Structure 1
Amino acid sequence: MSRLERATREYIVEHQLHKLSSGLRHITTCNRFYQHKFAVHSLDIDAIQNLSDLALLPFTTKSELVADQEAYPPYGSFLSHEPHDYYRLHQTSGTTGHPLKVLDTLKSWDWWARCWHTVYSAAGLTRKDILFFAFGFGPFIGFWSAYEAARYLGALTIPGGGMSSLQRLNTLLDCGATVLLCTPSYALHLAEVAREQGISLRESSIRVTIHAGEPGASIPATRRRIEEAWGAETYDHAGMTEMGAYGFTCEAHTGIHVNEGEFIAEILDPQTGEVVPEGQRGELVLTNLGRWGSPALRYRTGDLVENGGHHCPCGRSYLVLPGGILGRIDDMLIVRGVNIYPSALANILHRFPEVAEYQIIVTSAGTMDELTLRVECPANLVPRLQEELHQSLSLRIPIEAVESRTLPRYELKARRVIDQRHNKA
């Protein structure tokens, strides 16, 4: 644990303000996107003297960045330097719209790696570990920065790109890998393949699994299922292509800590923009402090989180988000007056070992949303699932039991919500 992670709140805030002030002065001289935003809002950056003054900065949204990139192809006007000054190009997954291209300078790519090194340190990794990356290594940022960060750890890395699931399992077993990095959905899929092949993962050398790319590793039932399958301790990580690697799980597993040495976090009411108090939920808004070649100021992530304050049994002073990313603000479904996030359904379904995979089918009945579940499970389990859902959510949800291997599996972000509402694309 670094000195900054256990520092006083006053010291952390002073550190953040110093980095923010330096970065703002830089981008006002060279970043056309933010020069225009600051001019429209008549912003004087010298007026930002404390964190409450962040409200003077306008929000940044993904739709804004996508529109800017379409207006100024191919990279938009939100770069602070000429394209030849950049070192890496990655893009968003495209699950919620047109992929956004984001470039990193050599300096900011090094910053990404240092942020991921914080993830490794919190998970107790050392140079003696062997890291297996079950990831395709395409243009999606995924675990590219995690792979780069292994340099700072000094650990041996094994790339799993271009392999089938069985090839990946055989490779990580043959090479004695001690750490698995992949999405939580893919960790469960690998466990499924291992069972089919008669492979006991609990007897493997994997001692830690680290997950990113989608919520899951902080959902209690999902985390338990991964840990039981692999016989390993599971850690979550949160990051975004347009923001950076901002979140990590500590040994206390209380949720996700925001790396406040490199990011400023706000948790705001998505309607009013007001700060939500500790214990309440709101939208996570982030500002990165080490990526001034591709900055993101007050970026509206669209992620629902809980304000857990700054106290954790691990001793860190960094902000805690209990339960990690609870869902997307725009993923909330209102079914017969009950607010439901897909993560709540995952937490219930993953309590049952007989459930291999599932889909959430959303339809509309007038102005109301309706849900149906397709679940790979024995038909005689359906009444128990429905009763558990009713007890937890006060809803009776129709369930269709389907044959094993009927539903798709995922290496990257799982797409389990099938939206068939008439008013949706």
Structure 2
Amino acid sequence: MDTLHACETWDPERIRDHQLAALRDQLARVYGSSRYYRRQWDEIGWHPADLRDLDDLAALPITTKADYQRAIDDRPPYGDFLAVPRESVARLHFSSGTTGAPTPVAWTAADLDRWADLYARAAHSQGVRPGDVYQCLFSYAWFVGGLGATLGYTRLGATVIPGGSGDTDRQLETIFRYGTTAVGGTPSFLLHLAARADSLGRPLRESAVRHVMVGGEPGGGVPATRAMIESAWGARCHDGYGCLEFQPVAWECAERAGGHLAEDFVHAEVLDQHTRQPVPDGRPGVLVLTHLDKRATPLVRWWTGDVVVRDRARCECGRTHARLAGGVLGRADDMLVVRGVNVFPSAVENVVRRTAGGLTEFRVVLDPALADPVTGYPTALRVQVESTQDNLSGDLAAALRAELQVRAVVEIVGPGTLPRTTHKARRVVRATEPEVSQRVP
């Protein structure tokens, strides 16, 4: 893979033609094989033959995670979204199960092949080549992250070390011993590894690593966090985006001007969170995705819950697929409204990382004492930050007010106080939860 994939440079009209033709085939297949969608579309009197333009897709209902879970509960263990015979399922991955029973998503052999190709394209666009040594630091147990990257980097021709997201000291030893040149993982775990390496007197910027791809959290799209990762690792950091149901969705190229949507794989809509109507390019909205060729568990108008801004301008790299400017801004259900100001945890992260410096851990605590008694909305942010700087509290509160236009109550806690994770960092917690039930002095 030494050149751009042919589909990555299609002009906008060809992309649209491809998506329309692919959707016609896909929706006909879905109608014939997915009990869920056939029943739903029959109820509203819609047939795939009614799709004459991409805009006609808006006539179909949104599909949510709750819809998917109900279909599993009604017809366990696979549910009515499965669109192939059970014996055609080559792979199952699961949700974390933090809000209910783990939900399965299935792949056929053809789906896995597609998955590998997309990941290989992502790695190639970021400068990884055959002969690189890629150490995968995404989780493998049950979840979806690690195996997709392993498929893709193997297809690209890299030497792959499936490290996973544990055994910190062994990961570091492996990086140095085997000359790892590329890594992938969550920003939280990569910063944790960097802090541990520094404490051992063996900083990762002295390793052979030159390519970093992060995903699973907004950190890769947060300028201060990206700068922190690059400084700690001495490597160029790229953001990638995917979710359990769609793998992968978008990735940054060497220009790092927003993740390129894989528009030959998904049809993307950006909708207003409340009205569910399209928003203009350049305005934030919730990303809604439809598979163009997924076989096992195809999804139509899937509400990702991720807030993005679409940019259709041609990238300097030559790729023509639309980009997600600034990556994923946050989760629609994580957005905080503080005295009428919309605040995403990623915006807080950017201010904290830049102001506090170092490999700083932090979190936002939803504190009833800082909520309006009538509406329940926060009147200020409570932010806990690990630091040894005596004057940081006032400086950070001032920076948050200046940049986000909200009041913040900043609590400084000792290094190592806040919980760590090797999976996805949880940046917003409730004060009633056990881990934050006690006020920090």
Normalising by structure 1, report the TM-score: 0.96
Do the aligned residues in 1 keep the contact of 2:107 with 2:295 (CA within 8 Å)?
A: no
Among candidates 395, 403, 407, match of residue 414 of structure 2:
403
Displacement, 1:393?
Answer: 1.4
> Partner letter of residue 402 of structure 2?
Q
- Provide, for residues 318-367 of structure 1, a one-character-per-residue CA deviation record: whole Å limited to 9, x for no partner: 11111100001111111223221101000111113246201210123312
Do the aligned residues in 1 keep the contact of 2:306 with 2:329 (CA within 8 Å)?
A: yes
Q: Tell me the residue number matched to 2:404.
A: 393
Counterpart mapping for 1:196-211 below 5 A: 196-211=199-214
Displacement, 1:386?
Answer: 1.4
Counterpart mapping for 1:98-137 below 5 A: 98-137=101-140
* Mapped partners of 1:222, 1:163: distance in 2: 21
Do the aligned residues in 2 keep the contact of 1:288 with 1:296 (CA within 8 Å)?
A: yes
Displacement, 1:95?
Answer: 4.5
Structure 1, unaligned stretches of length 5 or more?
Answer: none
Displacement, 1:200?
Answer: 1.9
Q: Tell me the residue number matched to 1:54.
A: 57
Do the aligned residues in 1 keep the contact of 2:95 with 2:103 (CA within 8 Å)?
A: yes
| Pair 1:46–1:310, CA change in 2 (3 A) | farther
Displacement, 1:154?
Answer: 1.4
> Partner letter of residue 430 of structure 2?
D
> Partner letter of residue 409 of structure 2?
P
Do the aligned residues in 2 keep the contact of 1:183 with 1:211 (CA within 8 Å)?
A: yes
96-105 or 381-390, which deviates more = 96-105
Q: Tell me the residue number matched to 1:227.
A: 230
Q: Tell me the residue number matched to 1:9.
A: 12
> Partner letter of residue 377 of structure 2?
M
* Mapped partners of 1:412, 1:355: distance in 2: 17
Look up the SS of the partner of 1:239 in the other structure. Answer: strand
Counterpart mapping for 1:30-45 below 5 A: 30-45=33-48
> Partner letter of residue 394 of structure 1?
Q
Displacement, 1:315?
Answer: 2.2
* Mapped partners of 1:339, 1:97: distance in 2: 28
Q: Tell me the residue number matched to 2:365.
A: 361
Among candidates 385, 410, 413, match of residue 375 of structure 1:
385
Among candidates 9, 15, 26, match of residue 29 of structure 2:
26
> Partner letter of residue 420 of structure 1?
A
Do the aligned residues in 1 keep the contact of 2:187 with 2:229 (CA within 8 Å)?
A: yes
> Partner letter of residue 402 of structure 1?
V
Q: Tell me the residue number matched to 1:87.
A: 90
219-228 or 376-385, which deviates more = 376-385
Counterpart mapping for 1:269-418 below 5 A: 269-351=272-354, 352-354=356-358, 356-364=360-368, 365=371, 366=373, 367-369=376-378, 370-378=380-388, 379-418=390-429
Q: Tell me the residue number matched to 1:191.
A: 194
Displacement, 1:37?
Answer: 1.3
| Pair 1:95–1:250, CA change in 2 (3 A) | farther
257-266 or 92-101, which deviates more = 92-101
Q: Tell me the residue number matched to 2:439.
A: none
* Mapped partners of 1:114, 1:41: distance in 2: 36
Do the aligned residues in 1 keep the contact of 2:239 with 2:251 (CA within 8 Å)?
A: yes
Displacement, 1:58?
Answer: 2.1
Q: Tell me the residue number matched to 2:145.
A: 142
Displacement, 1:96?
Answer: 5.0
Identity of aligned residues (%): 37
* Mapped partners of 2:18, 2:346: distance in 1: 35
* Mapped partners of 1:156, 1:92: distance in 2: 28
Look up the SS of the partner of 1:296 in the other structure. Answer: coil
Do the aligned residues in 2 keep the contact of 1:304 with 1:325 (CA within 8 Å)?
A: yes
Normalising by structure 2, report the TM-score: 0.92
* Mapped partners of 1:44, 1:25: distance in 2: 8
Displacement, 1:421?
Answer: 7.0
* Mapped partners of 2:333, 2:137: distance in 1: 29
* Mapped partners of 2:74, 2:129: distance in 1: 46
Do the aligned residues in 2 keep the contact of 1:359 with 1:417 (CA within 8 Å)?
A: yes
* Mapped partners of 1:162, 1:119: distance in 2: 21
* Mapped partners of 1:162, 1:344: distance in 2: 26
Q: Are positions 1:420 and 2:424 aligned together?
A: no
* Mapped partners of 1:99, 1:162: distance in 2: 20
> Partner letter of residue 253 of structure 1?
R
Displacement, 1:122?
Answer: 1.1
Among candidates 173, 178, 182, match of residue 170 of structure 1:
173
Look up the SS of the partner of 1:350 in the other structure. Answer: helix
Q: Tell me the residue number matched to 2:436.
A: none
101-110 or 307-316, which deviates more = 307-316
Do the aligned residues in 2 keep the contact of 1:215 with 1:324 (CA within 8 Å)?
A: yes
CA RMSD across the alignment: 1.6
* Mapped partners of 1:153, 1:331: distance in 2: 36
Do the aligned residues in 1 keep the contact of 2:90 with 2:109 (CA within 8 Å)?
A: yes
- Provide, for residues 297-335 of structure 1, a one-character-per-residue CA deviation record: whole Å limited to 9, x for no partner: 110111111122232222221111111000011111112
Question: For this pair of structures, how many residues does the alignment match?
Answer: 422
Look up the SS of the partner of 1:28 in the other structure. Answer: helix
> Partner letter of residue 412 of structure 2?
A
